[in-house]
Amino acid sequence: MARAPPILVDSWPESILPEVASMPVATGELAVPPDPTPDIPSEQQCHQCHEHAHRYRCPACDIRTCSLACTKAHKQDHACTGKRSRTDMVTLSDFTERQLLSDYKFLEEAARLHDVAQRSEAPRPARQLPLGLQNFVDEAQRRGVKYELLPPGMQRRKQNSSRFDRRSRTIFWHIHWHFPAAKESVHDLRVSEQTPLKQILQQHISLAPGNSVKRHALRLYVEAGLENLQILMKKEYCPANKPEFHHLDVDMFLRQLLSGKVVIEFPVLIVLLPEEKKNYSIMQDAADVRESNAKEEPFSTTL
């Protein structure tokens, strides 16, 4: 868009130069007060200084002023904000396009504030668990198990069949057995916490009716013998490149073994052959450390 050429003062007619010279100089949005104008009708006078003709109207109280100085003085004297009240009643005869545009902007601003309030709404409280599942979580934590649940819809959450029996006050665990040498996995749906770990594992490798197919797949473990197998449980929240495993005593009860350990949904137990143990980083629990220290202490008598 081409710019208009500047208007030179020298090109103005001499007849209007005195009138231009007498015009007020603008500063910012409002002009400085002009020279007093005599014989101004009262309805055209500035309501603040009463010396000049008004040129501005206050949107809030409709007071007319002549300059920025008078406008500031008016706001200070009358505690006026200078903003039109958007909720004041306007008669139909006084309703103009200006009021229509102001109301439209007011509705837009209200819709925007409503949208911002919804977006910045405080997070809702977490959804409560079903009563049966909540009882199970409470009982597991009461036994010292650091139990955690996955979000609904996750595969392990769907597979989990662990339950708490209120009559017997017993937890029945879902156990996932993993046999790396045979590349097999077996699930026990509900195992009492009062069952020794040896008894649970023996059901999978012993000769029993209907167990021949599974026993054949786990023949390496059957040949090694139950007393030579090592049972591990992965420690949760370890670095992926440095996994650590808990060693589980097959003669202990399931309740004792899970106490003090993190369990996500259900325990995953790894069964190892004797030669596979060297491939895993096995950590010593506090109980194992106390037991090993007790064995190393020499027997002494006091005379």
Q: What confidence tens digit (pLDDT) does each residue in 118-157 have? A: 888 777 666 688 888 999 999 999 999 999 999 888 999 9
- In this predicted structure, the answer to whether residue 36 has a pLDDT above a threshold of 60 is no
**122 or 255, which is more confident:** 255
Residue 23 CB coordination number (10 Å):
9
- In this predicted structure, the answer to whether residue 294 has a pLDDT above a threshold of 70 is no
Compute the half-sphere exposure of residue 57: CA atoms within 13 Å on the CB side of its CA: 5
Q: Are 274 and 168 in contact (CB under 8 A)?
A: no
Kind of pairing between the strands at 146-148 and 163-165:
unpaired
Helix (H, G, I), strand (E, B) or coil at 57: strand
Question: Dihedral, CA atoms, 8, 10, 12, 17, nearest 10 degrees?
Answer: 120
Distance separating alpha carbons of residues 216 and 201, to the nearest angstrom: 15
The pLDDT-based confidence of 57 (bands split at 50, 70, 90) is: confident
Beta strands in the chain (DSSP E): 26-27, 30-31, 56-57, 64-65, 146-148, 163-165, 170-179, 184-192, 230-234, 245-248, 262-264, 268-272, 282-283
Chain centroid to CA 171: 32
Averaged pLDDT score across all residues of the chain: 80
- In this predicted structure, the answer to whether residue 20 has a pLDDT above a threshold of 50 is no
Q: Write down the pLDDT at residue 290.
A: 43
Q: Write down the pLDDT at residue 13.
A: 53
Q: Write down the pLDDT at residue 119.
A: 84
Task: Please provide residue 68's backbone torsions phi and psi, each rounded to the nearest 5 degrees.
Answer: -65, -40
pTM above 0.75, yes or no: no
To the nearest whole percent, how much of the chain has pLDDT over 90?
36
Q: What is the pLDDT of residues 257-292, one digit of tens each?
A: 999 999 999 999 999 999 988 888 888 764 454 444
**169 or 39, which is more confident:** 169
Q: Are 64 and 56 in contact (CB under 8 A)?
A: yes
Residue 264 CB coordination number (10 Å):
18
- In this predicted structure, the answer to whether residue 2 has a pLDDT above a threshold of 60 is no
Q: Write down the pLDDT at residue 213.
A: 78
Distance separating alpha carbons of residues 111 and 113, to the nearest angstrom: 6
What are the beta bridge partners of residue 187?
176
Task: Specify the DSSP class assigned to residue 43.
Answer: G
- In this predicted structure, the answer to whether residue 28 has a pLDDT above a threshold of 60 is no
Q: Write down the pLDDT at residue 297.
A: 45
Q: Write down the pLDDT at residue 7.
A: 47
Q: Write down the pLDDT at residue 105.
A: 87
**143 or 16, which is more confident:** 143
Among 122, 32, 47, 99, CA closest to 78: 47
Among 221, 173, 218, 169, CA closest to 195: 173
Residue 197 CB coordination number (10 Å):
20
- In this predicted structure, the answer to whether residue 19 has a pLDDT above a threshold of 80 is no
Distance separating alpha carbons of residues 230 and 270, to the nearest angstrom: 8
Q: Are 55 and 31 in contact (CB under 8 A)?
A: yes
Q: What is the pLDDT of residues 73-95, one digit of tens each?
A: 888 888 888 887 777 787 888 88
Question: Dihedral, CA atoms, 63, 65, 70, 76, nearest 10 degrees?
Answer: 10
